[in-house]
């Protein structure tokens, strides 16, 4: 293994979880890097190359009209009429399903005479696991076996991949199979051929989450860049939905394709939280799925602890250079508090009381982990330390090994207490107390615990002068404040851990050009010693990170700043075909006219796609409290996207319709029965 993950930025990607197809822009699947059909973290088809008379079509066009579709056009000039204009071409119409892929091959001729040609599809399968691919490794292709007529199959470890090519002559040439069609193409005509690949996996963990459909509100805005981003994001999110095989009704969002198309605690929670305005059912499924795997014992090898919410779950161990994660891994310091916050927020958005009540035992267990077990060294703050020596060295959302740095670029020594985690835990304590009280249970001393945390945080985390200070990224193992200015401070907004004056200082600091540089929020200031525009966590832009800060700014009473930062993402989105990737380079708009890709970034990525819904909420100033019967609408002034009209937004068994004019004034509002304006 090389230890260098393959690049993704120039690939065509189509998916219907748990299947994802990655190809070149010409439509060919060559088995290089990540290319292939992946199903449940296994590459069930590594090669699918189409030729006509032994020649590959010359690519001229690629389109990704929906999350699960790909269309590719290539010229067949050797078959055409003499002259400069192409008269024969080939189009591949690809559709991804939850169990594989179908493809229609269309040959089109405007030539004056009939043509005869031979179309061949050469295919192979290596069943490489996703972690081997991500680590730059490779595996020998598996020998194919005839499956009768126009079919061939490959098998490995109980997983079977079957290719059918209707009407073709299929031959086996280990390690490949070849499907051949002889085509007579009349003048001014088209001929269509078809093939498909289907995966069968009896040991699959997850199936496509088709028991839940996200709300699809009708959104109109003067700035059509925003509506285009929102539409694409919602279709991508539908394609990322998963559910456990034994609990198909509990749907969650797989974190991202191709590396993380599975259940992740933090990612799935944040995605569900940002998506509450379009689906409470998704939040319910996410909460219950994670609750079933909630920790019950202490285990240093997996990071498990009683009450703790897991980090990720895969079909087997995840082996990368220098790291070995078990199939069920709990190495996250923040997912537990975020689970509590999601439960509370889902209740506020209308999750039925009986479903909330059923999760109260899990809530109490999570709160006990927060208040009793998350502070491993007794300093009053939650921190993490990889006791196994083979897990994640950093266990916040910035989990790369070099993510936690001082302003001079030096790396922090563990155990590390991250700033945003203290904010999440403060918020979880107060929201957990509110839930328990609302359901007639004693919250104990959660309010007092949160108050003590706020006092300690104020004493230890703030760095710089009173006028220009900001919260440090973290405290390191020596309890020194890790003073690099980073986006992490923005996650404190709206948690309650910082007061109004402190929130104002944080908001002003974040909107400075060293962090908010034109296309979103940099993860680290470009004035810091460890900054690099192409660092995974030390200078890149993560759309979900920006969206969380936009949400926090809106909740902290800074709607204009929220709008300004949110529009930076809107401006960036078009460069990625409105499919915001996991992250992109941190170059500012003064350095480059368009955002630069981070080449190994997942796309689509659940919380990146969910960012579009977070922007919609911020641009409306939307908050809901269904138990109290109120809805708040407080748009920024002026509206950042001009006149904005939203209809059919699901809420409390009905829908919300609202219109906002260019000045940011709510001109129309229709609420479901039983709700009133706050």
For 223-250, write each residue's pLDDT tens digit.
999 999 999 999 999 999 999 999 999 9
Architecture of domain 207-660 in this structure: Alpha/alpha barrel (1.50)
Round the CA-based radius of gyration of the chain to a whole number and report it.
26
3.40.50.300, 3.30.390.10, 3.30.230.10, 2.70.98.40: CATH of 12-204: 2.70.98.40
Contacts with 597 (C-beta within 8 Å, 6 or more apart), sequence order: 9, 576, 581, 584, 585
Distance CA 114, CA 164 (A): 28
Can 12-204 and 207-660 be said to share one CATH topology?
A: no
Q: Cα dist. 389→2, 11, 107, 305, 325 in Å?
A: 21, 35, 56, 17, 10
Residue 501's φ and ψ, nearest 5 degrees, are: -65, -40
Distance CA 8, CA 55 (A): 26
The per-residue pLDDT for range 399-457, each reduced to its tens digit, is 999 999 999 999 999 999 999 999 999 999 999 999 999 999 999 999 999 999 999 99
Retrieve residue 607's tokens. Answer: 């919380």
Distance CA 416, CA 383 (A): 5
CB 40 within 8 A of CB 315: yes
Number of H helices, E strands in the chain: 13, 36
Strand-pairing partners, residue 193, are 105
Whether pTM > 0.85 for this model: the answer is yes
pLDDT of residue 533: 98
Average pLDDT of adjacent 10-residue blocks, the chain of 678 residues: 81 98 98 95 97 98 97 97 95 98 98 96 97 93 95 96 97 96 96 98 95 96 98 98 97 97 98 98 98 97 97 92 92 98 98 98 98 96 94 96 97 97 98 98 97 97 87 97 98 98 97 97 97 98 98 98 98 97 98 97 98 98 98 98 98 97 98 96
pLDDT of residue 2: 52
pLDDT of residue 1: 43
Look over the chain and give the mean of its residue pLDDT values, rounded to a whole number. Answer: 96
DSSP assignment string, 276-344: TTT-HHHHHHHHHHHHHT---S-BTTTTB-TTPPPSEE-SS-EEETTEEE-SEE---SSHHHHHHHHHH
User: Domain locations in the chain?
Assistant: 12-204, 207-660
Crossing angle for the helix pair 559-573 and 606-620, nearest 10 degrees? 140
Contacts with 106 (C-beta within 8 Å, 6 or more apart), sequence order: 90, 91, 92, 93, 190, 191, 192, 193
DSSP assignment string, 424-460: HHHHHHHHHHHHHHHTT---TTHHHHHHHHHHHHHHH
């Amino acid at each position: 293994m090389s230890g260098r993950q393959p690049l993704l930025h120039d690939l065509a990607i189509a998916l219907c979880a748990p299947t994802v197809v990655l190809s070149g822009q010409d439509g060919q699947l060559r088995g290089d890097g990540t290319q292939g059909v992946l199903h449940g973290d296994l590459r069930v088809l590594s090669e699918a190359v189409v030729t006509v008379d032994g020649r590959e079509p010359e690519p001229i066009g690629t389109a990704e009209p929906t999350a699960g579709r790909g269309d590719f056009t290539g010229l067949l000039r050797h078959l055409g009429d003499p002259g400069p204009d192409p008269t024969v071409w080939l189009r591949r119409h690809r559709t991804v399903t939850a169990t594989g892929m179908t493809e229609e091959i269309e040959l089109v001729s405007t030539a004056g005479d009939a043509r005869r040609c031979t179309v061949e599809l050469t295919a192979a399968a290596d069943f490489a696991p996703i972690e081997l691919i991500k680590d730059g490794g490779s595996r020998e292709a598996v020998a194919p076996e005839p499956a009768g007529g126009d079919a061939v199959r490959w098998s490995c470890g109980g997983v079977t991949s079957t290719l059918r090519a209707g009407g073709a002559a299929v031959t086996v040439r280990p390690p490949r199979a070849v499907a051949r069609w002889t085509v007579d193409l009349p003048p001014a005509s088209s001929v269509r051929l078809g093939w498909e690949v289907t995966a069968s996996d009896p040991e699959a963990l997850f199936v496509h989450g088709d028991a839940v459909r996200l709300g699809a509100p009708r959104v109109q805005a003067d700035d059509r860049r925003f509506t285009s981003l929102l539409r694409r994001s919602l279709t991508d999110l539908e394609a990322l939905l998963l559910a456990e095989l034994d609990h198909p009704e509990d749907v969650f969002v797989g974190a991202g394709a191709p590396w993380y198309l599975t259940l992740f605690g933090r990612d799935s929670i944040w995605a569900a939280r940002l998506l509450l305005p379009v689906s409470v059912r998704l939040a319910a499924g996410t909460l219950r799925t994670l609750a079933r795997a909630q920790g019950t014992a202490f285990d240093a090898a997996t990071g498990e602890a009683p009450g703790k919410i897991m980090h990720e779950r895969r079909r087997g161990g995840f082996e990368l250079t220098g790291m070995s994660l078990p199939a069920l891994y709990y190495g996250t310091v923040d997912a537990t508090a975020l689970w509590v916050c999601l439960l509370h927020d889902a209740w506020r958005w209308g999750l039925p009381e009986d479903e909330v009540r059923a999760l109260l035992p899990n809530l109490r267990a999570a709160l006990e982990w927060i208040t009793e077990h998350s502070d491993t060294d007794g300093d009053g703050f939650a921190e993490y330390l990889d006791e196994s020596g083979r897990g994640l060295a950093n266990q916040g959302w910035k989990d790369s090994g070099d993510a936690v740095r001082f302003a001079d670029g030096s790396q922090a020594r563990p155990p590390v207490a991250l700033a945003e985690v203290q904010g999440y835990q403060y918020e979880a304590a107060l929201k957990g107390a509110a839930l328990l009280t609302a359901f007639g249970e004693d919250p104990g001393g959660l309010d007092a615990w949160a108050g003590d945390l706020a006092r300690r945080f104020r004493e230890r985390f703030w760095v710089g002068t009173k006028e220009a200070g900001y919260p440090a990224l973290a405290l390191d193992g020596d309890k020194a404040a890790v003073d690099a200015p980073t986006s992490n401070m923005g996650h404190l907004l709206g948690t309650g851990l910082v007061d109004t004056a402190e929130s104002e200082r944080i908001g002003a600091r974040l909107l400075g050009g060293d962090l908010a540089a034109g296309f979103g929020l940099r993860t680290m200031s470009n004035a810091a010693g460890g900054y690099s525009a192409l660092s995974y966590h030390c200078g890149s832009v993560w759309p979900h990170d920006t969206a969380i800060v936009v949400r926090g700014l809106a909740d902290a009473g800074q709607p204009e700043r929220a709008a300004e930062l949110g529009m930076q993402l809107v401006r960036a989105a078009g460069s990625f075909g409105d499919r915001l990737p996991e992250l992109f380079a941190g170059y500012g708009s003064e350095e480059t006219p368009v955002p630069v890709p981070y080449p190994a970034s997942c796309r689509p990525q659940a919380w990146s796609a969910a960012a579009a819904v977070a922007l919609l909420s911020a641009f409306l100033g939307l908050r809901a409290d269904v138990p109290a019967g109120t809805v708040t609408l407080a748009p920024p002034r002026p509206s950042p996207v001009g006149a904005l009209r939203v209809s059919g937004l699901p809420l409390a068994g009905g829908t919300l319709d609202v219109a906002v004019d260019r000045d940011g004034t709510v001109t129309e509002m229709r609420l479901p029965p039983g709700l009133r304006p706050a």
